[in-house]
């Protein structure tokens, strides 16, 4: 056989039998996936949290408006110790005032107990984290003691406080918030907190500094969460039920997507929170025991107009297409007749 | 009664002055008549040009909308890690940085054949005996500019709608200023494309040259200019002037620092021009390019 | 009414050092159909382009009469009433369909809006393009495009129609249609200036022809007058027997000498003027003369009396076919046509 032909035949056979992906590329891809799973830094956090709940990561603006603000009834029912300004930033003390929140970004990440303690209990009870650090209660301590990983959504958002004037385009503050997907995690948190609280309060060094952590019941824990505009996972109804069951809340009921908390200030009163399908609080309603509303905040989302805008666009497009089809039919009729 | 007074006045007027007045009057009448004819013909050429480019315009608009939706809006709301910037101003700035490069590209596709297509296989012989060259040039330029403006307006409207969906009211008004600057920029850039079209043989060569000029030419010119005259603001570069389109969305852009001087090298980093500088540059580019285009077109023979 | 509608006065046009038109002058009157003939590169298209204001002359001027009877320079013609129609060179078309294009052209020529569709339909139907009304022009064949180009020239019923080879690429039926249409122009008071290489068609349609060669006008008159002037009229003589071979040249020389001595048959100064041709195979002789009856009579007498022995004349007649090609060849110096013996 001629040399050229022989070489051609050989190369043809090579082309025919060549695999789709070469072995070297395949091995690189496999190693890459293994690295992702194992994590080269050696921390070895679990791949994904296992829960039936999810978070939709709704982005965009949420506008709040004070529909009812009866301050005299508020003072009568709840008392002086807790005012609307303690709950909401800015000036939530007048009917018609507006506020805004812009949900900008969400990350689905695993975090440890340490992060949540700092974000919640230490901040609520004014415990200086760096002091804790020097006392030996640093992240290694918490990571070793509480090995559980929490898979959460970290939400970045901007906030515009309540005001009677038109809202600026620039926000007042930028915040971040955690959304815990598994109701059971709230129980872990509370249990871990209680455990740490006992260790912490009995630490002589801590006592010397006059620090202490209070006991927190399930109801109280839920109240603190609600005070910080709790965001829940979906399906909302199931999540809320599991949450109050897990935390063993005595003064909370859930109906549909609405959670009702019972409090006692000067008198008994109710706080009704309605959540939307994505887990954000739509409505805050304070009612007397007799059911009279004395404070109400409602909200709306500009993104709700998206279907309307889409419909208008589609109708406009159909109209344009219809016009073109009409012209085209005129031509087709002309061609048929000629 | 007014006529009586007028007649009396005319009787007492110097005959020379009277003659001059009549001449001026008849000249004005002829001028107005010519202007009316010009406008009618220009309008017809505009309409025809819009009809010719209808399909191309629709395709370009669909592609632009597609790009804006699939690169701007949808990833933000569909992708888990999609990010909404702090304020609608930033949102507009980010969206514009993509579209602002598409706009010259697309307008180039419309303007590249303004003059040279008239000489392609003698197509212009159908209209050149009837229409004056300035009527053809102005009519075609305006027709294509009208389509360009509609495209830009559609995109800005879309961005405003997206901004409303993300951020809610009040709707920001500063994009109107950005829109005006982009329109002026496109006027200047398209007149350069028209100038290229006046002497180049084909639309394809015009597109390649115009895009090369926009993407590289002005940048290189700016680098050379700044190397030789570091303190001179590079208003001669359309790339530099173009920056005002994205910057003008910010409400306080006029208060922002426009130039940073490196203390060691004395190199001036110019960010964006002043409003007056941008307006002046764009108007000069437009007037010079369109005048040259007209002069060359007049002298060009098929 | 046959007043002047177009004046071409001392027009010169150069392309670099090449002189395309050299001091060309002619007038065209109303209701005339003028043919413009000449070899390739003679200046025909240049002339038409200058009338259409596509080219500017380096000297001279072109005057067109408007509806008010006033002469205006071609580049200053008012656009208020467009009274000229042009078909210059072989135009291509914009990327659209014929209806949109014709509508646009009609509007810019100020054709009444309410009549445009009717006029367009009328013309498209006449030229069998009606069913292509909404089809993109780029799908048309070459002949269809040529017909459409002709339609664009006559769309607005102009007073002066300038056509550059309107029948190129057309099938015979379409040529007939165009010919008929052009003949009807005259009846409707239109003036046509047509440039063509199809001399038979020129002969049939045109009242007068302008012969142009190397940028100069060689002749501008009716075809009959030009034929008389350049002696391109023919007499054909069919013989019973061919001439005897050994005497053939001598006889032919004597006949030619005799013809040249007739009055009015002196050479017109045209080089290589051929007065007599002989075909032995066909047994025929062709004599070129000035077309006058007297000379025809004298030629007949000369041949039948003085050459009775040498020639046995079977037929003596004037052929009806066009002799325009001979005229063309003679005036433009076209060697290709001259060397061809016309039968």
ipTM surpassing 0.90: no
Minimum-distance CB partner of B161 among A104, A174, A309? A309
Going by C-beta distance under 8 Å and a sequence separation of 6 or more, which residues neighbour residue C221?
A: C208, C209, C229
- Residue C244 is part of a domain; what is its CATH number? 3.30.70.100
Whether A91 and chain B come into contact, CB under 8 Å, resolves to no
Task: For B213-224, write each residue's pLDDT tens digit.
Answer: 988 999 999 999
- Mark yes or no for CB contact A331/C134 under 8 Å: yes
Q: Is C332 part of a structural domain of the chain? A: no
**DSSP of B19-60:** HHHHHHHHHHHHHHHHHHHHHHHHHHHHHHHHHHTHHHHHHH
When pLDDT is averaged across residues B72-88 and rounded to a whole number, the result is: 77
Whether A1 and chain B come into contact, CB under 8 Å, resolves to no
**Residue A162 burial (10 A CB sphere; 0-12, 13-18, 19+):** buried
Minimum-distance CB partner of A106 among B80, B88, B169? B80
The DSSP 8-state label assigned to residue A102 in this structure reads E
CA dihedral angle for residue B272, residue B275, residue B276, residue B281, rounded to 10 degrees? 60
Token output for B263: 């203390």
- C-alpha–C-alpha distance, residues B233 and B273, integer Å: 8
- Nearest CA distance, B122 vs chain C (angstrom): 5
* Per-residue confidence (pLDDT) for residue C322, from 0 to 100: 53
C18 and C144 share one domain? yes
Work out how many CB contacts closer than 8 A connect A with C.
7
Q: Is B24 part of a structural domain of the chain? A: no
Whether C175 and chain A come into contact, CB under 8 Å, resolves to no
Domain span at residue B74 reads 36-299
Whether C131 and chain A come into contact, CB under 8 Å, resolves to yes
When pLDDT is averaged across residues A28-50 and rounded to a whole number, the result is: 54
Q: Is A229 part of a structural domain of the chain? A: yes
The DSSP 8-state label assigned to residue C142 in this structure reads H
Would you say residue C327 has pLDDT above 80?
no
Q: Is B40 part of a structural domain of the chain? A: yes
Token output for A106: 């969400």
**A155 with A175: CB under 8 angstroms?**
no
- Mark yes or no for CB contact B130/C82 under 8 Å: yes
Q: Which residues of C touch A331 (CB under 8 A)?
A: 134
Q: Which residues of B touch A57 (CB under 8 A)?
A: 80
- C-alpha–C-alpha distance, residues C217 and C237, integer Å: 34
Q: Which residue has the higher pLDDT, A325 or A338?
A: A325
Work out how many CB contacts closer than 8 A connect A with B.
62
Q: Is C160 part of a structural domain of the chain? A: yes
Most confident of B10-24, C122-136, C282-296: C122-136
Token output for A222: 């839920």
Which of B:250-289 have CB within 8 Å of A?
A: 251
**C161 with C154: CB under 8 angstroms?**
yes
- C-alpha–C-alpha distance, residues C189 and C191, integer Å: 7
When pLDDT is averaged across residues C224-229 and rounded to a whole number, the result is: 75
Residues of B with CB under 8 A from a CB of C: 33, 37, 41, 44-45, 47-48, 51-52, 120-123, 125-132, 301-302
- Mark yes or no for CB contact B164/A303 under 8 Å: no
C141 and C263 share one domain? no
- Nearest CA distance, A315 vs chain C (angstrom): 28
When pLDDT is averaged across residues B195-210 and rounded to a whole number, the result is: 93
Whether C316 and chain A come into contact, CB under 8 Å, resolves to no
If pLDDT is split at 50, 70 and 90, which confidence band does C272 have?
A: very low
Going by C-beta distance under 8 Å and a sequence separation of 6 or more, which residues neighbour residue C297?
A: none
Task: For A55-68, write each residue's pLDDT tens digit.
Answer: 888 888 999 999 99
- Mark yes or no for CB contact C108/B125 under 8 Å: no
Percent of chain A with pLDDT over 90: 40
The DSSP 8-state label assigned to residue A94 in this structure reads S
- Mark yes or no for CB contact A331/C130 under 8 Å: no
Q: How many domains does chain A have?
A: 1
Give the mean pLDDT of chain C. 83
**DSSP of C250-288:** HHHHHHHHHHHTSTT-S--S-TT---EEEETTTTEEEEE
Would you say residue B138 has pLDDT above 90?
yes
* Per-residue confidence (pLDDT) for residue A221, from 0 to 100: 93
Q: How many domains does chain B have?
A: 1
If pLDDT is split at 50, 70 and 90, which confidence band does C306 have?
A: confident
| Whole-prediction pTM | 0.80
Cis check: omega of the bond before B132, within 30 degrees of 0? no
The DSSP 8-state label assigned to residue B214 in this structure reads I
Domain span at residue A69 reads 60-307
- Mark yes or no for CB contact A60/B169 under 8 Å: no
Minimum-distance CB partner of B123 among C54, C94, C100? C94
Q: Which residues of B touch A100 (CB under 8 A)?
A: 168
Task: For A124-169, write each residue's pLDDT tens digit.
Answer: 888 888 888 888 888 888 888 888 888 889 999 999 999 998 888 7
- Mark yes or no for CB contact B165/A302 under 8 Å: yes
Q: Is C197 part of a structural domain of the chain? A: yes
* Per-residue confidence (pLDDT) for residue A13, from 0 to 100: 44
Q: Which residues of C touch B47 (CB under 8 A)?
A: 104
Q: Is C36 part of a structural domain of the chain? A: yes
C188 and C299 share one domain? no
Element at C132 (helix H, strand E): none
If pLDDT is split at 50, 70 and 90, which confidence band does C1 have?
A: very low
- C-alpha–C-alpha distance, residues B78 and A58, integer Å: 9
Q: Is B5 part of a structural domain of the chain? A: no
Neighbours of B150 (CB within 10 A): 13
Return the closest-CA partner of residue C105 out of C80, C135, C133, C85.
Answer: C85
- Mark yes or no for CB contact A335/C131 under 8 Å: yes
Give the mean pLDDT of chain A. 84
Q: Which residues of A touch B58 (CB under 8 A)?
A: none
Whether B176 and chain A come into contact, CB under 8 Å, resolves to no
Residue positions counted in chain B: 302
When pLDDT is averaged across residues B20-35 and rounded to a whole number, the result is: 90
- Mark yes or no for CB contact B128/C79 under 8 Å: no
- Residue C124 is part of a domain; what is its CATH number? 3.40.50.300
Task: For B216-270, write each residue's pLDDT tens digit.
Answer: 999 999 999 988 888 889 999 998 999 999 999 988 888 888 888 888 887 888 8
C294 and C194 share one domain? no
Return the closest-CA partner of residue A297 out of A46, A67, A100.
Answer: A67
- C-alpha–C-alpha distance, residues B60 and B111, integer Å: 13
Q: Which residues of B touch C54 (CB under 8 A)?
A: 125, 128-129, 301-302
Return the residue of B nearest to C136 by Cα. Answer: B52
Domain span at residue C38 reads 4-227
If pLDDT is split at 50, 70 and 90, which confidence band does A11 have?
A: very low
Q: Which residues of B touch A151 (CB under 8 A)?
A: none
If pLDDT is split at 50, 70 and 90, which confidence band does A3 have?
A: very low
Of A182-196, A265-279, C275-289, the poorest mean pLDDT is in: C275-289
- C-alpha–C-alpha distance, residues A61 and A132, integer Å: 37
Q: Is B201 part of a structural domain of the chain? A: yes
If pLDDT is split at 50, 70 and 90, which confidence band does C270 have?
A: very low
Task: For B89-125, write each residue's pLDDT tens digit.
Answer: 888 888 888 787 788 888 889 999 899 988 887 888 8
**C167 with C196: CB under 8 angstroms?**
yes
Instruction: Give the pairing of strands A281-288 and A293-300.
Output: antiparallel
Q: Which residues of C touch B130 (CB under 8 A)?
A: 79, 82, 105, 108-109
If pLDDT is split at 50, 70 and 90, which confidence band does A197 have?
A: very high
Q: Is C152 part of a structural domain of the chain? A: yes
Q: Which residues of A touch B76 (CB under 8 A)?
A: 59
Whether A171 and chain B come into contact, CB under 8 Å, resolves to yes
Interface test with B, best of C80, C104, C193 (most B CBs within 10 A): C104
Q: Which residues of B touch A60 (CB under 8 A)?
A: 77, 84, 165-167
Interface test with B, best of C57, C76, C92 (most B CBs within 10 A): C92
C207 and C302 share one domain? no
- C-alpha–C-alpha distance, residues C170 and C179, integer Å: 12
Task: For C67-105, write each residue's pLDDT tens digit.
Answer: 777 888 877 666 655 678 888 877 789 989 999 999 999
If pLDDT is split at 50, 70 and 90, which confidence band does C170 have?
A: confident
Whether C130 and chain A come into contact, CB under 8 Å, resolves to yes
Half-sphere exposure of C105 (CA within 13 A, CB side): 34
* Per-residue confidence (pLDDT) for residue C104, from 0 to 100: 95
Q: Is C314 part of a structural domain of the chain? A: yes
- Mark yes or no for CB contact C96/B51 under 8 Å: yes
Q: Is A4 part of a structural domain of the chain? A: no
Q: Is A43 part of a structural domain of the chain? A: no
Would you say residue A236 has pLDDT above 60?
yes
Task: For A207-220, write each residue's pLDDT tens digit.
Answer: 888 888 899 999 99
Q: Which residues of C touch A332 (CB under 8 A)?
A: none
Q: How many domains does chain C have?
A: 2
Q: Is A53 part of a structural domain of the chain? A: no
- Mark yes or no for CB contact C53/B37 under 8 Å: no
Q: Is B26 part of a structural domain of the chain? A: no
Which of A:298-337 have CB within 8 Å of C?
A: 331, 334-335
- C-alpha–C-alpha distance, residues A238 and A257, integer Å: 9
* H runs (alpha helix) in B112-250: 133-167, 174-199, 203-212, 218-228, 238-247
If pLDDT is split at 50, 70 and 90, which confidence band does C118 have?
A: very high
Q: What share of chain A is helix, strand, coil (3-state, %, to 5)?
A: 45, 25, 30
Q: Is C337 part of a structural domain of the chain? A: no
Q: Is C334 part of a structural domain of the chain? A: no
Q: Is B216 part of a structural domain of the chain? A: yes
C251 and C311 share one domain? yes
Would you say residue A180 has pLDDT above 80?
yes
Element at A161 (helix H, strand E): strand A150-163
Return the closest-CA partner of residue C5 out of C148, C164, C160, C113.
Answer: C160
- Mark yes or no for CB contact B128/C52 under 8 Å: yes
* Per-residue confidence (pLDDT) for residue C197, from 0 to 100: 80
* Per-residue confidence (pLDDT) for residue C82, from 0 to 100: 60
Q: Which residues of C touch A338 (CB under 8 A)?
A: 130-131
Chains touching chain A at 3 or more Cβ pairs under 8 angstroms? B, C
Whether B85 and chain A come into contact, CB under 8 Å, resolves to yes
Would you say residue C336 has pLDDT above 60?
no
- Mark yes or no for CB contact C131/A331 under 8 Å: no
* Per-residue confidence (pLDDT) for residue C204, from 0 to 100: 82
When pLDDT is averaged across residues B58-82 and rounded to a whole number, the result is: 81
């Amino acid at each position: 056989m001629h040399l050229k032909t022989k070489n051609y035949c050989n190369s043809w056979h090579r082309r025919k039998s060549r695999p789709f992906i070469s072995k070297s590329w395949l091995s690189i891809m496999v190693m890459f996936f293994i690295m992702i799973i194992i994590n080269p830094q050696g921390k070895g956090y679990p791949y994904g949290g296992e829960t039936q709940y999810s978070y939709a990561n709704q982005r965009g603006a949420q506008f709040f408006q004070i529909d009812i603000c009866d301050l005299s009834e508020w003072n009568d029912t709840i008392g002086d110790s807790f005012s609307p300004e303690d709950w909401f930033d800015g000036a939530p003390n007048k009917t018609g005032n507006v506020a805004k929140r812009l949900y900008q970004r969400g990350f689905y990440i695993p975090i440890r107990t340490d992060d949540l303690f700092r974000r919640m209990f230490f901040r609520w009870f004014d415990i200086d984290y760096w002091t804790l650090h020097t006392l030996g209660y640093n992240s290694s301590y918490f990571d070793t003691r509480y090995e559980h990983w929490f898979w959460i959504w970290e939400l970045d958002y901007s906030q515009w406080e309540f005001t009677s004037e038109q809202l600026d385009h620039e926000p007042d503050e930028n915040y971040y918030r955690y959304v815990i997907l598994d109701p059971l995690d709230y129980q872990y948190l509370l249990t871990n907190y209680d455990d740490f609280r006992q260790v912490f309060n009995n630490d002589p060094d801590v006592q010397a500094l006059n620090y202490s952590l209070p006991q927190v019941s399930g109801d109280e824990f839920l109240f603190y969460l609600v005070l910080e505009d709790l965001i829940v996972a979906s399906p909302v109804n199931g999540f809320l039920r599991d949450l109050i069951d897990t935390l063993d809340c005595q003064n909370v009921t859930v109906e549909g997507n609405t959670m009702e908390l019972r409090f006692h200030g000067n008198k008994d009163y109710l706080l009704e929170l309605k959540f939307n399908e994505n887990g954000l609080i739509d409505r805050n309603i304070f009612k007397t025991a007799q059911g009279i509303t004395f404070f109400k905040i409602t909200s709306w989302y500009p993104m709700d107009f998206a279907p309307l805008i889409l419909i208008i666009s589609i109708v406009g497009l159909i109209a344009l297409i219809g016009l073109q089809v009409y012209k085209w039919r005129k031509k087709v009729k002309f061609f048929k007749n000629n | 009664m007014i006529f009586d007074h007028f007649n009396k006045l005319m009787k007492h007027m110097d005959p020379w002055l009277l003659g001059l007045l009549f001449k001026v009057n008849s000249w004005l009448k002829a001028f107005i008549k010519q202007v009316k004819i010009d406008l009618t013909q220009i309008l017809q050429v505009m309409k025809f040009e819009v009809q010719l480019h209808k399909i191309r315009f629709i395709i370009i608009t669909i592609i632009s909308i597609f790009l804006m939706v699939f690169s701007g809006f949808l990833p933000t709301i569909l992708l888990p890690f999609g990010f909404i910037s702090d304020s609608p101003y930033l949102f507009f700035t980010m969206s514009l940085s993509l579209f602002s490069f598409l706009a010259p590209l697309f307008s180039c596709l419309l303007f590249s054949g303004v003059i040279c297509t008239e000489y392609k296989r003698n197509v212009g012989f159908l209209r050149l005996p009837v229409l004056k060259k300035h009527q053809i040039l102005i009519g075609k330029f305006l027709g294509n500019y009208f389509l360009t403006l509609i495209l830009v307006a559609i995109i800005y409207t879309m961005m405003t709608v997206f901004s409303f969906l993300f951020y809610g009211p009040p709707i920001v008004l500063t994009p109107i200023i950005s829109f005006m600057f982009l329109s002026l920029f496109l006027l200047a850039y398209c007149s350069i494309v028209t100038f290229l079209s006046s002497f180049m043989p084909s639309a394809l060569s015009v597109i390649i040259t115009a895009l090369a000029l926009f993407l590289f030419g002005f940048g290189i010119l700016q680098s050379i200019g700044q190397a030789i005259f570091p303190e001179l603001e590079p208003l001669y570069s359309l790339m530099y002037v173009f920056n005002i389109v994205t910057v003008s969305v910010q409400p306080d852009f006029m208060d922002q620092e426009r130039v940073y001087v490196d203390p060691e090298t004395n190199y001036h980093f110019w960010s964006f021009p002043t409003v007056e500088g941008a307006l002046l540059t764009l108007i000069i580019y437009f007037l010079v390019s369109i005048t040259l285009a007209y002069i060359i077109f007049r002298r060009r023979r098929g | 009414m046959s007043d002047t509608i177009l004046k071409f006065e001392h027009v010169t046009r150069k392309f670099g050092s090449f002189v395309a038109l050299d001091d060309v002058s002619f007038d065209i009157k109303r209701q005339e159909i003028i043919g413009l003939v000449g070899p390739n590169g003679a200046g025909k298209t240049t002339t038409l382009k200058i009338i259409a204001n596509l080219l500017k002359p380096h000297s001279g001027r072109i005057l067109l009469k408007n509806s008010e009877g006033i002469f205006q320079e071609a580049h200053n013609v008012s656009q208020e009433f467009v009274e000229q129609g042009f078909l210059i060179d072989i135009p291509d078309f914009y990327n659209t369909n014929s209806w949109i294009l014709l509508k646009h052209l009609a509007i810019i020529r100020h054709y009444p809006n309410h009549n445009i569709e009717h006029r367009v339909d009328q013309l498209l139907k006449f030229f069998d393009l009606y069913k292509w009304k909404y089809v993109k022009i780029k799908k048309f064949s070459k002949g269809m495009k040529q017909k459409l180009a002709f339609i664009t020239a006559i769309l607005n019923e102009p007073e002066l129609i300038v056509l550059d080879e309107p029948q190129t690429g057309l099938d015979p039926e379409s040529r007939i249609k165009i010919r008929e249409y052009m003949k009807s122009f005259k009846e409707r008071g239109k003036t046509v200036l047509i440039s063509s290489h199809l001399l038979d068609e020129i002969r049939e349609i045109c009242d007068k022809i302008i012969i142009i060669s190397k940028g100069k006008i060689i002749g501008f008159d009716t075809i009959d007058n030009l034929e008389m002037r350049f002696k391109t009229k023919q007499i054909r003589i069919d013989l019973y027997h061919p001439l005897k071979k050994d005497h053939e040249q001598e006889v032919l020389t004597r006949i030619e000498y005799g013809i040249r001595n007739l009055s009015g048959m002196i050479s017109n100064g045209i080089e290589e003027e051929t007065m007599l041709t002989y075909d032995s195979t066909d047994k025929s002789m062709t004599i070129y003369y000035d077309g006058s009856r007297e000379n025809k009579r004298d030629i007949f007498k000369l041949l039948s009396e003085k050459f009775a022995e040498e020639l046995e004349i079977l037929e003596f007649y004037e052929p009806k076919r066009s002799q325009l090609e001979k005229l063309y060849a003679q005036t433009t110096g076209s060697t290709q046509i001259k060397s061809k013996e016309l039968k």
